[in-house]
């Protein structure tokens, strides 16, 4: 960039800079120079900038280049991956993590960190669920936006990924996600829309897959009509690494930057297409201009000297991990532990933590805490014993390992058993085939429970696992994947230094077979049909009235909270303001995650019985009451109307459920919401019923029908019979006294 770049507005700079470039230079700008950097144009002083993975830490490669986590990368703080971060239900905390990621990126001169990933967890089998936030679009969007804001507060760009409907790893480079418009808008795009509109990420990464048959990387509807024209996205669209199928079509669709480098092949195709007239040069100018804009933003980043404050970031990783742990069960106040208790720590994960997932997000942590060491720190001297119980890779003499674990547990007051998924069980690149923990681990747990019923289970897993032992042990802590400080954070929670406040951002089902995508995952022959439609996650379990092991939003605390009666009112802008007083009725300070769900009885469209619309994590001192105010945005009440292709808020009396989980509703209040005007075009294809509801055509049609059928019960009965007929067809139907002229008059006047 020339010096003027730093002071001009990006738009001015871009216009001049693009005009300064040759056709070949413009084309070269729109694809990477190598694996991680954009192409420099030295002649006019355009530097190259670097993008690297994340997103729960920085993965700046120091040796070879790859996108599957094989080669080394510089040490960086490994924060809890998205599966852990989202369980905090706390966007402020996510923003702080984002800021720390921004600082680490800036120190390493990285312009864009490739995350967050906010794809919906459609199936618990998706191999990459640990990198995603939730089965719910509001949680995904709110938490995603917060991370983006944090990262970008440091003058570093984020990359919201993978846009869109990339909900599985099987055949991910080709598969077509076949999704109907309502679920696509209301479930799969809603989180992206929220994050784009609230946080304006510098970049959005398009996904590998096709959506309803069209590759995301060359879909003008997705990348331009929806993303830019509807949502107002102002940044750059980058391809996922290797997602480009047809680069020329991509340029026309609004895919600004192809990554990584195509070795000049794509650039040559783009140049040829412009020369032969099949690609408009103005389309190339637009995408090249956006690359210049991104480079300009990166250039304006405030200096970040470093070195990295490893201790401070490790402490933040520990704080976040402590907030991410979800206390699923705590019968008889088993937890927190008392330092004087004799504790048998069982399970190889206590010494070899599983703290992140495999693939492109693999971070090289600056340090790594183990739970066993941290437990020893908390406990009184000589109170902690350890037995591996099993080997993570399933090797060894399982019977002997089990026997040792049982004996260790029998000699202690309490057993804490660390179970989890081996790293090989879940990864980017493939999906899981089941949701079971390894059989040898379950057998080890059985042996321990037989020896010591006072057993606490601590889980480490990126994707949901079935908990067949949920009724057999008094306490369960879901630890997800917690990053480099997960071991010490787990001890913080076990000993009560941190009062748990994590919540389930995804349902733990009883059986995989209960999951809504079951039978439609991962599809076949290049297509996966999203047959469950809107009913993803808890929406499905609630609609079907199915039992779950633990519901969406669930999580316990060492204290207790009581809810007052909620109130709801309409704000001037149409949002619904919900207020509720929450009292900490226990004896220690804690955090409650207050959740607001809405429902509309008798809705004209299909809806889940309850949909999350707002949440708030609040800290409350023992004995104190806090007035919690939550905002349900009017636009979040809208459904996507396929007849008019836009969002519609249906008017009516909405039930506002306020509670501690999707199945622990503490109060309901009704709020009357005015609807959006919905004018359906009156055509010959409109049904009688539709036209009767039309304010213009309705009264005249009533007259015509009165003449044709008379009035009274017989006429009403007739209307029931013919009401669903398109009016045009009724006019040609034998023995119906409605003329074509009357229909024409009606539609002309409608
Ligand atoms: C992943 C992206 C990642 C990129 C670069 C791809 O395989 O899907 O999430 O950012 O590689 O490593």
CATH number reported for the structural domain that contains residue 621 in this entry: 2.60.40.10
CA distances 485 to 457, 459, 463, 500, 698, Å, are: 19, 15, 19, 16, 66
**CA 35 to centroid of ligand 1, rounded, Å:** 11
| pLDDT tens digits along 644-696 | 999 999 999 999 999 999 999 999 999 999 999 998 888 999 999 999 988 88
Who wins on pLDDT, 306 or 41? 41
Asked whether residue 220 falls in the same domain as residue 345, the answer is no
Over residues 371-391, the mean pLDDT reads 98
Q: Give the closest residue (by CA) to ligand 1 atom 5.
A: 67
DSSP 245-279: S-HHHHHHHT--BBSS--TTHHHHHHHHHHHHTSS
pLDDT of residue 11: 46
Judge whether residue 13 has pLDDT over 80.
no
Q: Which residue among 240, 256, 369, 542 is the active-site one?
A: 240
DSSP 423-443: GGGSBTTB--S--PPPHHHHH
Ligand 1, closest atom to CA 115?
Answer: 10
**Does residue 478's CB lie within 6 angstroms of at least one atom of ligand 1?**
no
Judge whether residue 509 has pLDDT over 50.
yes
Q: Select from 556, 562, 555 the least CA-distant residue to 620.
A: 562
**CA 182 to centroid of ligand 1, rounded, Å:** 28
Distance, CA of 465 to chain centre: 19
Over residues 338-342, the mean pLDDT reads 98
The total of structural domains in the chain comes to 4
Asked whether residue 216 falls in the same domain as residue 353, the answer is no
- Scanning 82-121, the segments in alpha helix (DSSP H) are 82-87, 91-107
**Does residue 318's CB lie within 6 angstroms of at least one atom of ligand 1?**
no
Ligand 1, closest atom to CA 172?
Answer: 8
Domain span at 587: 561-673
On whether residue 190 sits in a domain, the answer given is: yes
Asked whether residue 613 falls in the same domain as residue 695, the answer is no
Residue 547 appears among annotated catalytic residues: no
3-class secondary structure, 25: helix
**Who contacts 9 (Cβ-Cβ below 8 Å, separation ≥6)?**
none
| pLDDT tens digits along 510-558 | 999 999 999 999 999 999 999 999 999 999 999 999 999 999 999 999 9
Over residues 576-594, the mean pLDDT reads 98
Q: Give the closest residue (by CA) to ligand 1 atom 2.
A: 240
Q: Give the closest residue (by CA) to ligand 1 atom 6.
A: 241
pLDDT of residue 9: 46
| pLDDT tens digits along 459-489 | 999 999 999 999 999 999 999 999 999 999 9
**Does residue 96's CB lie within 6 angstroms of at least one atom of ligand 1?**
no
pLDDT of residue 14: 54
**CA 316 to centroid of ligand 1, rounded, Å:** 26
On whether residue 298 sits in a domain, the answer given is: no
Asked whether residue 632 falls in the same domain as residue 696, the answer is no
On whether residue 11 sits in a domain, the answer given is: no
Average pLDDT of the chain is: 95
Asked whether residue 397 falls in the same domain as residue 458, the answer is yes
Asked whether residue 228 falls in the same domain as residue 343, the answer is no
On whether residue 680 sits in a domain, the answer given is: no
Which of 673, 704, 735 is where one domain is finished?
673
Asked whether residue 722 falls in the same domain as residue 645, the answer is no
Which of 621, 649, 673 is where one domain is finished?
673
Whole-number Å distance between alpha carbons of 489 and 476: 15
**CA 379 to centroid of ligand 1, rounded, Å:** 42
**CA 65 to centroid of ligand 1, rounded, Å:** 12
Asked whether residue 636 falls in the same domain as residue 700, the answer is no
Judge whether residue 255 has pLDDT over 90.
yes
Q: How many CB atoms lie under 10 A from the CB of residue 386?
A: 19
Per-residue tokens: 163: 């846009």
């Amino acid at each position: 960039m020339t010096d003027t770049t730093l002071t001009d507005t990006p738009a001015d700079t871009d216009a001049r800079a693009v005009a300064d470039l040759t056709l070949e230079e413009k084309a070269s700008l729109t694809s990477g120079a190598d694996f991680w950097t954009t192409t420099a144009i030295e002649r006019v002083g355009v530097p190259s900038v670097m993008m690297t993975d994340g997103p729960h830490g920085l993965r700046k490669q120091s040796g070879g280049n790859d996108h599957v986590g094989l080669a080394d990368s510089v040490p960086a703080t490994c924060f809890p991956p998205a599966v852990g971060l989202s369980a905090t239900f706390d966007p402020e905390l996510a923003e702080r993590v984002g800021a720390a990621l921004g600082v680490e990126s800036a120190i390493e001169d990285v312009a864009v960190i490739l995350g967050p990933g906010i794809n919906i967890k459609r199936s618990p089998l998706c191999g990459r669920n640990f990198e995603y936030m939730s089965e719910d679009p509001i949680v995904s969007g709110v938490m995603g936006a917060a991370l983006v804001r944090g990262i970008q507060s440091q003058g570093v760009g984020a990359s919201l990924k993978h846009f869109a409907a990339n909900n599985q790893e099987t055949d991910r480079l080709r598969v077509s996600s076949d999704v109907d418009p309502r679920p696509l808008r209301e479930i799969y795009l809603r989180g992206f829309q929220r994050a784009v509109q609230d946080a304006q990420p510098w970049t959005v990464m398009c996904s590998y897959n096709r959506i309803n048959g069209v590759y995301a990387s060359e879909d003008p509807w997705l990348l331009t009509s929806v993303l830019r024209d509807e949502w107002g996205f102002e940044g750059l669209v980058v391809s996922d690494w290797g997602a480009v199928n047809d680069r020329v079509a991509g340029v026309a669709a609004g895919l600004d930057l192809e990554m990584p480098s195509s070795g000049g092949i794509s650039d040559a195709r783009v140049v040829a297409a412009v020369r032969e007239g099949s690609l408009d040069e103005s389309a190339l100018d637009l995408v090249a201009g956006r690359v210049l804009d991104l480079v300009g933003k990166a250039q304006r980043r405030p200096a970040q000297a470093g070195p990295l404050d490893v201790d401070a970031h490790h402490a933040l990783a520990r704080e976040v991990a402590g907030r991410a742990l979800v206390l699923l069960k705590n019968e008889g106040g088993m937890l927190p532990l008392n330092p004087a208790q004799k504790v048998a720590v069982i399970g190889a994960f206590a010494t070899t933590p599983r703290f992140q997932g495999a693939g492109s997000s693999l971070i090289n942590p600056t340090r790594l805490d183990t739970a066993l060491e941290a437990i020893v720190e908390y406990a009184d001297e000589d109170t902690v014993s350890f037995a591996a119980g099993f080997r993570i890779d399933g090797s060894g003499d399982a019977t002997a390992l089990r026997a040792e674990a049982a004996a260790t547990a029998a000699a202690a007051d309490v057993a804490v058993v660390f179970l989890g998924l081996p790293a090989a069980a879940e990864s980017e690149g493939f999906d899981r085939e089941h949701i079971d923990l390894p059989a040898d681990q379950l057998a080890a747990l059985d042996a321990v429970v037989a020896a010591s019923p006072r057993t606490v289970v601590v889980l480490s897993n990126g994707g949901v696992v079935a908990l067949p032992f949920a009724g057999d042990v008094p306490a369960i802590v879901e630890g997800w994947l917690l990053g480099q400080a997960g071991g010490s954070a787990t001890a913080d929670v076990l000993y009560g230094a941190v009062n748990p406040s994590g919540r389930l951002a995804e349902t733990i089902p009883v059986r995989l077979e209960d999951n809504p995508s079951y039978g439609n995952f991962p599809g076949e022959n290049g297509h996966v049909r999203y047959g469950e439609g809107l009913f993803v996650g808890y929406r499905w379990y609630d609609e079907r009235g199915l039992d779950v092991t633990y519901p969406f939003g669930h999580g316990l605390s060492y204290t207790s909270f009581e809810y007052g009666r909620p109130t709801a009112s309409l704000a001037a802008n149409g949002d619904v303001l919900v207020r509720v007083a929450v009292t900490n009725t226990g004896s220690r300070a804690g955090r409650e995650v207050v959740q607001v769900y809405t429902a509309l009885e008798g809705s004209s469209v299909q809806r889940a019985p309850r949909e999350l619309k707002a949440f708030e994590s609040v800290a409350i001192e023992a004995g104190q009451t806090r007035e919690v105010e939550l905002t349900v945005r009017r636009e979040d009440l809208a459904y996507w109307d396929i007849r008019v292709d836009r969002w519609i808020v249906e008017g009516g009396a909405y039930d506002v459920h306020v509670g501690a989980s999707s199945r622990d509703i503490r109060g309901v209040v009704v709020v009357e919401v005015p609807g959006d005007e919905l004018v359906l075009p009156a055509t010959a294809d409109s049904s009688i019923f539709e036209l009767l509801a039309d304010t213009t055509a309705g009264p005249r049609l009533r007259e015509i029908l009165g003449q044709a059928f008379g009035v009274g019960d017989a006429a009403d009965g007739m209307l029931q019979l013919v009401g669903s007929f398109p009016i045009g067809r009724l006019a040609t139907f034998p023995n119906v006294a409605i003329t074509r002229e009357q229909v024409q008059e009606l539609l002309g006047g409608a």
